[in-house]
Amino acid sequence: MVESLKSWDESLFIYLNGFHTDFLDPIVFQLTHTIPWIPLYLFLVFLVVKKYGKQSWWVFISVGLTILIADQFTSGFMKPFFERLRPCHDPRWEGIIHNFGKCGGMYGFASSHASNSFGIATIMVLTLIDRFPAVKWLFLWAALFSYTRIYLGVHYPADVIVGASIGTFGAFLSYQIGMFLSSKITRKTPLG
């Protein structure tokens, strides 16, 4: 069963990776980096502060914890544990796949880009959806950001799907921790 899943994953990768144009290559390569998204991140910070004011600290702790969980679990544990070669490092795909830009580290399971982006999207939706319903569109951004990894030939679809799941789970866990910390600190009253 594992071999058939792996075969399906590789076939889907070859199919999706085949949709590329020379014109889009440098654009997609830039979209896979952090810098183009800084205005979005700053806007999210603005929304958090607008909603929570001085109580924003627990949201930022939750975001930091989400990224820590998402990034460290995928990069620090999964990649060295599973040792699944990135497609661009796998000699079987030489001359077959489209790889633009850097290939990255040797192993790719699971995608840290997918984990981090879906983690950020989830934690923002959990904390802001009631006041800013449009924040749900962050999942579209996370999907686009994650898809760039397949387009560029550095991740298989399973790398992205598992990474997205880990980021989402990390966000739910971080949200609960943040809410717990917030309730404990706001309930404390000075003695007197």
Whether 19 has a pLDDT exceeding 50, the answer reads yes
What is the pLDDT averaged over residues 72-85? 96
The CA radius of gyration of the chain, in Å to the nearest whole number, is 19
Q: Spell out the residues 6+ positions from residue 86 whose beta carbon is closer than 8 angstroms to its own.
A: 103, 104, 105, 106, 107, 108, 154, 155
What number of CA atoms fall less than 13 Å from residue 103's CA on the CB side?
14
* Strand-pair partners of 85: 107
Q: Which of 112, 125, 128, 119 is nearest to 170 (CA)?
A: 119
Residue 111 pLDDT > 70: yes
Q: What is the pTM of this model?
A: 0.93
Q: Are 144 and 113 contacting, i.e. CB atoms less than 8 angstroms apart?
A: no
| 51-68 pLDDT tens trace | 999 999 999 999 999 999
Q: What phi-psi label fits residue 95: left (phi over 0), alpha (psi between -120 and 50 degrees) or beta?
A: left
* Percent of residues, the chain, with pLDDT higher than 90: 89
Tokens of 99: 């790889």
DSSP 98: -
State the pLDDT at residue 1: 80
The answer to whether the beta carbons of residues 176 and 130 sit under 8 Å apart is no
pLDDT band at 189; cut points 50, 70, 90:
very low
The mean pLDDT of the chain is 94
**What band does 167 get if pLDDT is binned at 50, 70 and 90?**
very high
Q: How confident is the model at residue 102 (pLDDT cuts 50, 70, 90)?
A: confident
The residue to which tokens 């607008």 are assigned: 50
Q: What is the pLDDT of residues 40-53, one digit of tens each?
A: 999 999 999 999 99
Contact in structure between 178 and 65 (CB atoms under 8 Å)? yes
pLDDT classification of 184: cutoffs 50, 70, 90: confident
Going by C-alpha positions, the residue among 154, 151, 19, 162 that lies closest to residue 89 is 154
Q: Is the peptide bond before 164 cis (omega within 30 degrees of 0)?
A: no
Q: pLDDT digits over 20-34, tens only?
A: 899 999 999 999 999
Partnered with residue 107 across adjacent β-strands are 85
Q: Higher model confidence: residue 102 or residue 188? A: 102
pLDDT at 133 > cutoff 60: yes
